[in-house]
Amino acid sequence: MTAFVPGLGLSPLEILTVLGATAVVLARWLPPRARRPVLCSGAAVVAAAGVALAVAGLRWQLAPVLAGTALVLASAAATARRPGRTPRRVRWWLALPGSIACLGLVAATPVAAWAMPFPQYPEPTGPYAVGATVVQWTDEERPEPFTEDPDDHRSIVVQLWYPAEETGADRAFGGRETIAESREVTAASADFFGIPGFLVDQSAEARSHAVFDAPAADGGARFPVIVFSPGLTGTRTANTVLAEEWAAQGYVVATVDHAYDAALTVIDGEPVHSRNAVAGLTDAEIARQTRDNLAARTADLSFVLSGLERLDREEGPLSGRLDTGRAAVAGHSRGAAAALMTAAADPRFAAVVHIDGGLEPSLPPQPFGQPALSITSPVSAAENPDYIPNLESALDLGTGERYRIELAGAGHFSFTDAALYFPPLPSVLGTVGREEGLRLTAEATTAFLDAALRGEPADLPGLLPQYGELTVYK
């Protein structure tokens, strides 16, 4: 995998290309004797580095620097001395705007690489390596709510992340087994949100840390379970960083592709795309669509826990290793709202983790008895004045230990893998930093889950304030 200089988002070859292009642009303004040598040397550096990058895979961020170099060289060729002809010399006051424009193009490359870098998945901090596998289950008792075929039953694709033995085998591409699969999911997500595909295509090539079908960790220990629901249109690998960290800490994590909700799900070998859409809908229609979506997700999450119970009893690599009696339901955004609803509907879950998810006001909150941790973003709270009051009304109905952390500086996407490669706009990622929001979320949720599911002694009211402003619900 290409190594990138921390903080710059550029590889050494890309830095060399920028430096060579800078020399090409500035050569015009050097003393006469230095101009040609600097121009030729810079052009040679850009050409050599460009060829090497083209072989390895040229990123779109390099387009401006190559364009700036080409414009300068074309201008230099047009004004070059020719035998028998009077040399043409562009006056400085005419050349200056062009040089400034080309220098701006050169500078655009490091700016673009910093704003939308090649994602670097942080190394999990737990004692285990991470394995992954994918299963598909069909609920024969539940018709598919998003199709009109009465014989079509709800199918769920689940990715299991689990504590594993270190194998040294190739790691996943952004949580996916193959780069082709990773690219398909990335393209589908970009298409749904109207993002030009080339802007995020490189993220599909980034290696995370899970190894598919790695042997489960030795020792025969039974691992607590986390069933996780991603945000609206999110896929089972939208929260790879959190899933890998929890697995490395000794949990089996089941992330869910909610069919017809996720940007792309492959069921029985056929692609199924999201049917989420709000354009042209009235507020009442959007509310109804949200209620239907949450109802489907809630049923999906309970069904996945039942599937894990069966999987633990069946012959297989995780047979006897899933402690479904110690299970948490968790989610981000729409998945967080679904997690709270699932906890109220399914007492088999022993804890609930809610990560920055607004509730549907037309759905009255239901009481639940599990301990709960909610992590919220101040950006989300500022954008939706009803968010925190509605959430607190739901948390007030709980009877177990309930905590809410407002993670200072976090944006809504600070809790997802998008933080690793989205532009660092305060409205999107807040000001907490690309990895910091994920790290703090992982630490806070792990401390809570260790206490709630493993019974490890912890002074959570004293521990959790280090991650943000804490509210404890009595």
pLDDT per residue as tens digits for the range 297-345: 999 999 999 999 999 999 888 999 999 999 999 999 999 999 999 999 9
Residue 47 has pLDDT above 90, yes or no: yes
Question: pLDDT grade, residue 393 (50/70/90)?
Answer: very high
The sign one gets for the Cα dihedral 136, 138, 142, 145 is positive
- pTM (predicted TM-score): 0.93
Q: Predicted confidence band at 76 (pLDDT cuts at 50, 70, 90)? A: confident
Closest to 223 measured CA to CA, from 240, 248, 241: 248
User: In the prediction, which pLDDT does 151 show?
Assistant: 87
pLDDT in tens, 423-432: 988 988 999 9
At 36, list the tokens.
């040609």
* Domain segments of the chain as ranges: 12-115, 129-473
Sort 425 into a burial class: Cβ within 10 Å, 0-12 / 13-18 / 19+: exposed
**CA atoms within 13 A of residue 270's CA, in its CB half-sphere:** 5
**What's the mean per-residue pLDDT of the chain?**
93
Amino acid making up residue 337 = A
Rounded to whole angstroms, how far apart are CA atoms 298 and 337?
9
Q: Is residue 164 scored above 70 in pLDDT? A: yes
In the chain, what's the furthest Cα-to-Cα distance? Answer: 93
Overall average pLDDT of the 378-394 stretch:
95
The model's pLDDT over 216-225, given as tens digits with 9 standing for 90+, comes to: 999 888 999 9
Domain 129-473 = CATH 3.40.50.1820? yes
pLDDT tens for each residue of 441-451: 999 999 999 99
- In this prediction, residue 87 has a pLDDT band, given cuts at 50, 70 and 90, of low
